[in-house]
Amino acid sequence: MVSRTVGIAFVVLAVVSCGGKPEPARKVGGVQAPDWIEGGGGSFRSDKGRVLRAVGSASGIKNVALARGAADNRARAELGKIMEVYSASLMKDYMASTTAGDMKSSSEEQHVEQAIKTFSATTLSGVQIIDHWVHPDGTWYALAELDLAAMNGALDRARDLDGKVRDFVRKNAERSMASLDAEEKKRAPAASPAPVKPAPAAPVEPARPAAAPALTCTAGQVQQCGRCVDVAASLDKMRWELPCAPGASGAVCRSTVVRPTRSLKVGGTPDASYDIVLRFRGVVEQNSYAGGVADGYWYTGGRADDGHYNIYQMTVSAPAQVFFLNAGRANIMRSWAIDYQRTVRLAGGADITLTADDQDRELIVNRDDRDQRIVIPDVPPAPAAFDGQFIQMDVLSVIPASTVTCPQGERR
């Protein structure tokens, strides 16, 4: 079950008034703050019905956009932890209902295990950031929310989720949320007022800015041991490209390259891990994938399920994982504009391989469903259209996911 701690990233459930606004503010470190900063994790009722909420925070990041993005991503990650508990409980109920309580069927266990992964990945695509708060010390807080309406919408788009599982979730989602909330209350200690953080002693407060000199790190760096450490600069602006050969006519063209591949290496500290927020934009044809977990165009694990359409793939050595970037349905003779963000956990020093596989040496030309060439704003060769297919990967932020031990006398 999700622990109830307040720190760099923690889950918080805020009770909302009938107008949907946060409860009155309270003191945090001697400063008035929204009430949801000091809440607890689980599910509760709002004017939208049953919702799940979680909070993430980020400190020590001078760039406002990066700090806000880091807080947002940590809030989503903490909501993901709640979803793991919620979906596991829901799928256990489903398994009991379909096996009459007999949990010994290995095939059914495997089916439910995969359903849990698919259900969690699918519903988390409906998470929204609904509020922010900034402490005077520069710490950003973000409040993430997932309601039943967003969950049901995500279920409608989940092509890989078994139909019986989808129907069971729709019928039992609210009841399971209530059960999760009740279980959390049973596990919680006796009710007592939420602890109020005391204001720092007067001699300590002035020391805070002195302890961190003005460091402005880039999107691919982190502040570590008092300096900016490069982690993901090698990934920024990297591209998968499959250009069309000159003289193409019709819906397809010949590719000028054969399975182009790029090899990259993550920076940072060996044995440390980092959550890297990536943005993917470009023009692609869709392909069908199987054996993994679908999340829009993003597909984790598995393999290509069609031997003719292009494969856009990112393979990671540590932790070992594979991602496909153009998931959808093969045999659709048009191209698609993509623009989405995903957070990937990578180990320091990990090897990254980017592969664009034109399996049959042909690709669908850059044309949308209206037979218009697709231009991706602010991505080269904009304002011109790329003659072929491509994906550009941009690094938006890097968040340390593990503790690094610094030499004596240096800041962590």
Q: What is the pLDDT of residues 166-189, one digit of tens each?
A: 677 667 666 666 665 565 555 445
Instruction: State the burial class of residue 332 (Cβ atoms within 10 Å of its Cβ: 0-12, 13-18, 19+).
Output: middle
Amino acid (1-letter code) at residue 203: P
For the CA atoms of 227, 230, 231, 234, what is the dihedral angle to 10 degrees?
170
For 72-126, write each residue's pLDDT tens digit.
888 888 877 777 776 666 666 666 666 554 544 444 555 555 555 555 555 566 6
Least confident of 73-82, 90-99, 355-364, 385-394: 90-99
51 contacts 173 by C-beta, under 8 angstroms? no
Structural domains in the chain, sorted by start: 9-187 (3.10.129), 213-400 (no CATH)
Round to whole Å and give the CA distance between 230 and 221.
4
Q: Give the pLDDT score at 190.
A: 46
Round to whole Å and give the CA distance between 221 and 213.
16
Over range 8-15, report the average pLDDT: 31
Round to whole Å and give the CA distance between 111 and 102.
14
Round to whole Å and give the CA distance between 393 and 298.
13
Round to whole Å and give the CA distance between 386 and 337.
12
Nearest to 183 by CA among 283, 82, 99, 267: 82
Confidence of residue 352 (pLDDT cuts 50, 70, 90): very high
Round to whole Å and give the CA distance between 165 and 171.
10
Round to whole Å and give the CA distance between 407 and 227.
13
Centroid of chain to Cα 240: 21
113 contacts 17 by C-beta, under 8 angstroms? no
112 contacts 102 by C-beta, under 8 angstroms? no
Q: Which long-range contacts (CB under 8 A, 24 or more apart) does 243-249 make?
A: 243/386, 243/387, 243/388, 244/363, 244/365, 244/366, 244/387, 244/388, 248/365
Round to whole Å and give the CA distance between 325 and 393.
11
Nearest to 73 by CA among 275, 289, 283: 275
59 contacts 8 by C-beta, under 8 angstroms? yes
Name, of 19-28, 143-152, 326-335, the range with top average pLDDT: 326-335
Name, of 86-90, 227-231, 318-322, the range with top average pLDDT: 318-322
3-state secondary structure of 206: coil
Q: Residue 229: pLDDT above 70?
A: yes
411 contacts 225 by C-beta, under 8 angstroms? yes
Round to whole Å and give the CA distance between 257 and 242.
7
pTM: 0.53
Over range 121-140, report the average pLDDT: 77
% of the chain surpassing 90 pLDDT = 40
